[in-house]
Structures are given as structure tokens and as C-alpha cells.
Amino acid sequence: MATYEYRCRQDGSFDVTLPIGTAGPSTRCPRCGVPAGRVFAAPRLGRMPAALHAAIDRAERTAEQPDVVRHVPGDRPARRSSNPAHARLPRW
């Protein structure tokens, strides 16, 4: 048995254990079911954490066509000052 690494463009890397020589060029992602390509690399070389792979894939996917942002992350309503002098300041 050997462990083969595949990488889903959405979910990142995952490993599949198969008999030696039986790994195909792609397999279904266990999370989303989309075909994931095999990562050809020397064993235990060039491995990155799955979260880092997912972040890189997400950055590559949105490089040409950014995701639509409907709100600013962590956006909160502006705090109102209790100082009456601040009410006369211009609003932007």
C-alpha cells in the first residue's frame, strides 16, 4: 500500500491509500465529490498543510475573477460620540 496525495481546488489536499501502482490521475474529493487531481511529488517533499493549500488555491481561483464581497468582514455600525461638538463635524 502507498499513500497518494490529491488536491481538490476547493478543499485542498487529501491523502488516499491504495495498492502501489493503482493510483489514477484523479479521484473524487471526499468532502465535495468533485474530481481532484493527483499531486506528483517525491514522498514527504514539498508538502504543505492542507489549510495552506486551500488558501493558495482560493487565491489562484479569485486572481482573475474576484469573489463578490457583499459586506466588509468584521464591519460594525459606527459608534456615535456623546460629545455634542462632534455632531457639528462634517459627515463623509
Which residues would be at the binding site for Zn ion (CB under 5 A)? Answer: 8, 10-11, 29, 31-32
* Residue type at position 34: V
Calpha distance 18→27 (Å, rounded): 12
Shortest distance in whole angstroms from residue 4 CB to Zn ion: 16
Nearer to Zn ion, 23 or 36 (CB): 36
Shortest distance in whole angstroms from residue 31 CB to Zn ion: 5
Query: Residue number with the shortest CB distance to Zn ion?
Result: 29
Shortest distance in whole angstroms from residue 23 CB to Zn ion: 17
Shortest distance in whole angstroms from residue 48 CB to Zn ion: 16
- In the three-class reduction of DSSP (H, G, I as helix; E, B as strand; rest coil), residue 91 is classed as coil
Nearer to Zn ion, 15 or 87 (CB): 15
Nearer to Zn ion, 30 or 87 (CB): 30
Instruction: Go through the chain and tell me how many residues it has.
Output: 92
**How open is the CA angle 45-37-33, to the nearest 5 degrees?**
125
Cα torsion at 30, 55, 7, 41 (round to 10°)?
Answer: -140
